[in-house]
Amino acid sequence: MSKVGILGAGSWGTALAHLLYTNGHQVTVWSIDEREIEMLNTEHEHRDKLPGVSLPEEMNFTTDLPSAVKEKELVILAVPSPYIRDTARKASAFVAPGQILVNVAKGIEASSLMTMTQVIEQEIPAADVAVLSGPSHAEEVGRELPTTVVVGARTEQTADFVRDHFMNDVFRVYTNPDVLGIEIGAALKNVIALAAGIADGLGCGDNAKAALITRGVTEMTRLGVAIGGRSETFFGLTGIGDLIVTCESRHSRNRHAGMLIGQGKTAAEAMDEVKMVVEGVHSAKAAKALSEKYQVPMPIVEQVNEVLFENKKAKDALRELMHRDRKTEHSEIAWK
């Protein structure tokens, strides 16, 4: 049994707390929100974000950050990506040298264009930082439905250590040394999922959805490889796997927000209706900036940005994608 601290008591943090407790670990969950912690301590259920998942009375919920970090074999950072830096900065004073921190947020910091792991490593250089990602909606993990994810770390030893804490009969964990590729795929798929949701809101049908997923993988892979990731990663769980589930699932907040935008709502109105952080909106500007920095064409990402931030109509963005210059599908394949 290990002592595990989870920073963030949203749907994902709560689902992972349930999973790790089921695996026999002693779990402490921290949140900055006093009302949230009071609800979890009294009702043993996150009725707002993960209803129906019962949490044991032995699980500790707290607003005291040191108690969730100190002397823990694992600390999971499960706050939304816009809050990773601030949370890491506050936790840094309590992290021991070599302590293993696992990022489970998906995003790119707009101001620095850094991944979440890079942000954590900058704020807590003494930590051993890993990432856990993949097609894993909290609603299904909390109900113990079969799920498969991947852990990335700087060393195989750390990756195996994290894997062994999470893995059980319904939660399978692979390992991968490509930390950068894992995080780029995890962040970019949210932007593509917004596009897929917009297409659903416009009533485009299954053909359009399949095209967006397929061309989305192409955009993700091109940029990820240009930055330094491995192409194989984008055809794995945190690339095409996470993209499929985020574009298709009724649980996907990015798809839901995109659908509302396709139906005519603004990005702000869509996020208000979803009532949770829509990571793709926060990552869209960063994805566009990275595509420009590395000179990688990303037409889907570009159109999503124009719809989100430049008041472009969704139907006009779709028309522009359909009328792009004629070209071969794979430039690497030459005619004989």
61 three-state secondary structure: strand
How far apart CA 256 and CA 223 sit, in angstroms, is 25
The token duo for 259 is 């659908």
SS3 of 128-179: the string is EEEEEECCCCHHHHHCCCCEEEEEECCCHHHHHHHHHHHCECCEEEEEECCH
Q: Which residue has the tokens 């209706």?
A: 273
State phi, psi for 122 to the nearest 5 degrees: -70, -40
| Residue 103, strand partner residues | 77, 131
Active site residue 189: yes
- Give the active site residue among 49, 72, 106, 189: 189
Which tokens is 47 given?
């009725």
206-227 vs 279-293: helix axis angle to the nearest 10?
Answer: 50
Identify the three-state secondary structure at position 103.
strand
Looking at the chain, the number of H-run helices and the number of E-run strands are 16, 8
Contact 6, 13 (CB under 8 A): yes
Q: Which residues pair with 172 in a beta bridge?
A: 148
Q: Which helix (DSSP H) or strand (DSSP E) does residue 105 occupy? A: none
Query: Residue 222: exposed, middle, or buried by beta-carbon count in 10 A (0-12, 13-18, 19+)?
Result: middle
The token duo for 330 is: 């794979």
How far is Cα of residue 105 from the mean position of the Cα atoms in its chain? 5
CA distances from 246 to 127, 135, 215, 258 (A): 30, 8, 15, 11
Tokens matching residue 84: 């990773």
- DSSP at 51: T
Residues designated catalytic: 189
